[in-house]
Structure 1
């Protein structure tokens, strides 16, 4: 281990988004804190992501609001004026993040290896991770820590939930319930959402067989609101609709106390893993071995290999690691019986996800 690694005192992490990714980064930050308990850790983070992680012990947050563009970058730079870090962990490959990094002064500027890098990130760093072509997203984050001499990479989150969120959670629902977050982010060619008929069938099944109330979560986008309107019509069971009506801390509390969280490849799957709740992830357009929940993978419905074969016309071993399937037909490969089987397995298990893993 180098002399520098034994004297790290001031560390900057640059990771702005997204909700699932910042959840996955927290265990790496905890590992860093265990290795360097006296170090000052500053995390430059996005606005929404900060609202999820605010109060995280031992971390100073600098918030960047991407809606403000260059003015927002300058605001971050002003807050960091006069500071020079021992190391900058540049953990987001987007060009916006790299431009933001120009105002962060550090002796060492570490970025991803060429295989995992994009948008010219290598021009903004002076070190890169060792090559690693495959692995879960969280392993990429731990690779940064290993480069700093961190060996204890156990999973630990401890994301705080304030009393105000606890109170709001109990106002929404009491008794046994599960979370359905039906929509992923509304981006072009995303195609991660399952069928409305599928969600409706599972809501009725969970109510009839397990007595679980259905709590719908998500944002207030037109896409989400339209899907939920259709979903409510197709369900025989009543649902509790919280879309656009909870902050992220309240959502975290709801997820923590739920029996199950069902969602496509999106933030709530990773929030569930962080809170020890079974994540019933629905995956076809992305590889859950890379972007699925880091714990509870046995409960994921994985139709990614079939989607690669049918939509891309290739076997799994002939596509690059992390290849997306951008085809609107892919998620229809997930059958209702596939999801029922995962729900049954979760409900049959007496242990929490954290105890199992």
Structure 2
């Protein structure tokens, strides 16, 4: 096949004609949406007259509403096996298929929108490709494993690949050359909402997120606390973020850090978990000097708004979710390949290898002193870039 000589992460194929409406299938959480933003910007650049609709989840709708970006609207996915997992509100559905009635209503509404291109940016396609094909779009593009249904244009799904690059490759198959995505900008309303959070008497603001959806990706709370206390003694204000489900964890980190500090310094570290809407979190991260976190959605959001980050990763997650540059982002990796409890091979992931059932952290061996030094190094870089 002769491919057009256009730049991209992968091949950039011929553009589709008369494109007015683009749908992008992307379930999951905060980080899952952030992964797609470079590709969404590329699609917007290639098809400037088209609207981009994300078929996603409530957190995706909240991000889109609170920031300025390439997405025009978000349609809520119905509960569907392998696409948007349930149960929802305690309901259980026959054979784990999901809410069949809601699915039928969803597909009827989406077919009425007459999408010109539908892109699958949700895994290997075993469940998501049949879902995408039911939208009735003129053209379909996406990833697929060997057992998944074919789309019009397909990218082989290989698990270990940088996620933003994966979706840039998919955008390239739809005719969109890769671009460097601009920072995600929180709206002025959310910037105003966080005005009172920053302590201007401190030399820097470090935002810390100790949580992660998978417990195996979490650095121990005591390690985060030691890092927070050290940074406070270096002059930083430390705010610990998380959603409502993480309040106990963030409070534990705050209290452990406070015990290591003199009384007159304890006010410089506190938990704000559960106090911020997603737009407020984006605005706070935009104001932060550095973000310190395990591999999590808030770390990806910090990178998206242009804030330097220090991330703590299991090596496999670093391949898929780690930042590519090192001027503004530092990555600390655990090279563990076996479950600490049962010895199961944790490098075999995805649909081919069920979870061994143990949630012991895989990143305990990463030293606090090394992480803190990177936060301090990036603090100096961040303050220099901001003219402070």
Alignment partners' CA distance in 2, 1:45 and 1:233? 36
Matched residue SS, 2:41: helix
Q: What is residue 18 of structure 1 aligned with on the other side? A: 29
Q: What RMSD over aligned residues (CA atoms) do the two structures have, in Å?
A: 3.3
1:308 and 1:315 in contact (8 A); partners too: yes
Alpha-carbon distance in structure 1 between the residues aligned to 2:367 and 2:321: 21
Please state how far the C-alpha of 1:339 moved relative to its aligned partner: 0.7
**CA displacement at 1:167 relative to structure 2:** 1.8
Tell whether the 8 Å contact from 2:39 to 2:168 is kept in structure 1 after alignment: yes
Structure 1 segments unaligned to the other structure (5+ residues): none
Are 1:136 and 2:162 counterparts? yes
**CA 1:297–1:183 in 2, change beyond 3 Å: closer, same or farther?**
farther
- Say whether the 8 Å CA contact 2:23–2:118 is kept in structure 1: yes
- 1:352, 1:64 → 2: CA distance? 43
Pair 1:231-2:253 in alignment: yes
Equivalent residue in structure 1 for 2:273, among 215, 230, 243:
243
Structure with the larger helix share: 1
Unaligned regions of 5+ residues in structure 2, if any? 5-12, 80-87, 90-97
TM-score (norm 1): 0.82
* TM-score, normalised by the number of residues in structure 2: 0.76
1:5-154 equivalences in 2 (<5 Å):
5-54=16-65, 56-57=69-70, 59-64=72-77, 66=79, 67=88, 70=99, 72-93=102-123, 97=128, 100-101=131-132, 103-114=134-145, 122-123=148-149, 125-130=151-156, 134-151=160-177, 153-154=178-179
Select 1:212's aligned residue among 219, 226, 236.
Answer: 236
Q: Does 1:191 align with 2:216?
A: yes
Report what 1:179 is aligned to.
Answer: 207
* Matched positions, count: 339
2:334 touches 2:365 (CA, 8 Å); kept in 1? no
Q: Which residue of 2 aligns with 1:256?
A: 286
Pick closer, same or farther for the CA change 1:13–1:53 going to 2, 3 Å. same
Contact 2:293 2:311 in 1 (8 A): yes
CA, structure 1 residues 158+244, in 2 after alignment: closer, same or farther (shift >3 Å)? same
